[in-house]
Amino acid sequence: MDAATPLRTLLVIAGCTLLGGCMLSAQEPGVKARPQQPAEPIRGLPLSPTAPVEAPLPAAPLAPATPVGLSVPVEKPTSIRSSPLPAGDPRVKVVAIVGAGNIVTDEEVWEAVRQRVPDYTSFVDGQGGKQIIEDPVKKKAIYAEELRRTIERELILDEMYAKLKKANKLQVIEEIKEFAGKAADRQIREYKKRYKTGSDDDFKLVLLAQGLTVPVIRRQIERQMMADEYVRSMLREKSLSISLGELRGYFEKHADEFKTPDRVKWMSIFISFNKFNTTREAYDYALAIQQHAAAGEDFAALSKTYDHGLAGQGGGFGIGSERGKIQPVDVEPTVWATEAGKVSALIETPAGYHIVKVVEREYAGVKPFDAKVQMEVRRRIQMEMQATEYRRLVEKLWRSGVVQVVELPK
């Protein structure tokens, strides 16, 4: 891996989406809590390889998780050393040491667990409304799962560091860290913007409500990005050689996944009866506008000038793009019956007249095997290849790497 390759790719993947989800402070097992309703909750970070540039990759399937403190497969005891937790209650509890010294802390694992609140909680009726009840068994299992995932990430990073160090490319490691850090900064700014937090303190409060912290979130983003990029770099040449025949074969095998519904993009002008003394006056007024629109005049400009509703304020675009979602419902039949680029006749409704123009029209069916679909197919194949390579590499590292798991207090 040459020095420039990881840096170029990190620049490209810097904007990948990593969060979304549920908003709830994690409780100790069995504790009840009232639900919280944030504007848009944060979901867990992907703790397995992310996708190529175009889209995030679902988490790679994991080997069955083992109980906390035994998150390494029991059939490989020779690669594990266990040691008791030191006396006292240190602020930072190390639960695993991976390879040459990469550590996994109890805090990081718990924050990963809290990003999966819906997986171990349920709503029940109680005094004062619905309450959230945690399932301690599921919560413990998820802790073991997230501990294993985090260890696997650190195994990959440990190998990356070892290989670059052996190749005398220590500067590349620092550059990768720097770019991952900058990417994490940009992603956190996006989170702040999404949740409309005006300051760092406001953002910290949003995270605190979920039992999360900025330093741990940043660490998860940075280190997962670095691990994913390392796996991608090993697959880059192979993924670029995917043939057209392979693309076609995947497309035909997964045709159901490339279906598209009826979809329409349309514009509207509304003329209200309330603006005129008689229905006839409203009709004549609307008809004149319809004739100008049908003759090819700028529909958006006509809407902005003459619309009596909200369409003019929004550039004239109508509400809804799929069947059953067009508003108002009185115009839906005409919207679907009008060809792309055409302007409808007047549509009379109880409130007035509508004039519709269909801008774009997509018909239900399997998408054509065009350049856009081929790119999507290539992306999916790359995602599958990356997930497979991630699993292969992790299994190899479990066998050859040294993981020291520290037993947590029971």
Whichever domain contains 336, its CATH number is: 3.10.50.40
* Residue 326: inside a domain: yes
Give dist(CA 203, CA 213) in Å, integer.
Answer: 10
Instruction: Specify whether 130 is located in the same domain as 209.
Output: yes
Instruction: Specify whether 159 is located in the same domain as 211.
Output: yes
Q: Write the pLDDT tens digit of every residue in 177-204.
A: 888 999 899 999 998 988 888 788 999 9
* Residue 147: inside a domain: yes
* C-beta of residue 398 within 8 angstroms of C-beta of residue 76: yes
Instruction: Specify whether 378 is located in the same domain as 359.
Output: no
Cis peptide before 328 (omega within 30 of 0): yes
* C-beta of residue 304 within 8 angstroms of C-beta of residue 312: yes
Instruction: Specify whether 91 is located in the same domain as 196.
Output: yes
pLDDT score recorded for residue 382: 86
Which of these three, 363, 380, 395, is where a domain ends? Answer: 363
* Residue 296: inside a domain: yes
* C-beta of residue 54 within 8 angstroms of C-beta of residue 375: yes
* Residue 123: inside a domain: yes
* C-beta of residue 235 within 8 angstroms of C-beta of residue 383: no
Give dist(CA 51, CA 228) in Å, integer.
Answer: 8
- Please state the three-class secondary structure of the chain as a single string: CCCHHHHHHHHHHCCCCCCCCCCCCCCCCCCEECCCCCCCCCCCCCCCCCCCCCCCCCCCCCCCCCCCCCCCCCCCHHHEEEEECCCCCCCCCEEEEECCCEEEEHHHHHHHHHCCHHHCEEEEEECCEEEEEECHHHHHHHHHHHHHHHHHHHHHHHHHHHHHHHCCCHHHHHHHHHHHHHHHHHHHHHHHHHCCCCCHHHHHHHHHCCCCCHHHHHHHHHHHHHHHHHHHHHHHHHHHCCCHHHHHHHHHHCHHHHEECCEEEEEEEEEEHHHCCCHHHHHHHHHHHHHHHHCCCCHHHHHHHHCCCCCHHHCCECECCECCCCECHHHHHHHHHCCCCCECCCEEECCEEEEEEEEEEECCEECCCCHHHHHHHHHHHHHHHHHHHHHHHHHHHHHHCCEEEEECCC
For residue 111, what is the domain's CATH number? Answer: 1.10.4030.10
State the total domains in the chain. Answer: 2
Instruction: Specify whether 353 is located in the same domain as 382.
Output: no
Instruction: Specify whether 241 is located in the same domain as 356.
Output: no
Give dist(CA 154, CA 351) in Å, integer.
Answer: 64
Instruction: Specify whether 169 is located in the same domain as 276.
Output: no
The owner of tokens 């029971």 is 410
* Residue 110: inside a domain: yes
Instruction: Specify whether 238 is located in the same domain as 303.
Output: no
**What does each of the 410 residues of the chain score in pLDDT, given as a tens digit?**
443 333 333 323 333 322 233 332 333 333 333 333 333 444 443 333 333 333 232 233 323 333 233 233 323 333 333 333 334 444 678 999 898 888 999 999 999 999 999 999 998 887 777 788 999 999 999 999 999 999 999 999 999 998 888 989 888 888 888 889 998 999 999 989 888 887 889 999 999 998 999 999 999 999 999 988 888 887 775 666 788 999 999 999 998 888 888 889 999 999 999 999 999 999 999 999 999 999 999 999 999 899 988 655 555 788 888 888 888 899 999 999 999 999 999 999 999 999 999 999 888 888 889 999 999 999 899 888 888 888 888 888 888 778 888 766 45
Instruction: Specify whether 346 is located in the same domain as 329.
Output: yes
Closest alpha carbon to 222 in 154, 166, 167, 165: 154
Label residue 48 left, alpha or beta by phi (over 0 means left) and psi (-120 to 50 means alpha): beta
Instruction: Specify whether 207 is located in the same domain as 342.
Output: no
pTM of the model: 0.56
Instruction: Specify whether 238 is located in the same domain as 188.
Output: yes
* Residue 268: inside a domain: yes
pLDDT score recorded for residue 10: 33
**Domain extent at residue 212:** 4-251+372-407
The number of angstroms, rounded, from the C-alpha of 71 to the middle of its chain's C-alpha atoms is: 27
Which of these three, 363, 381, 397, is where a domain ends? Answer: 363
Give dist(CA 375, CA 381) in Å, integer.
Answer: 10
* Residue 13: inside a domain: yes
pLDDT score recorded for residue 34: 34
Q: Two tokens at 259?
A: 């279906």
Instruction: Specify whether 15 is located in the same domain as 94.
Output: yes
| Residues 6 or more apart in contact with residue 264 via CB below 8 angstroms | 321, 322, 326, 335, 336, 358, 360, 361, 362
pLDDT score recorded for residue 35: 34
Give dist(CA 295, CA 292) in Å, integer.
Answer: 5
Which of these three, 363, 380, 399, is where a domain ends? Answer: 363
* Residue 256: inside a domain: no
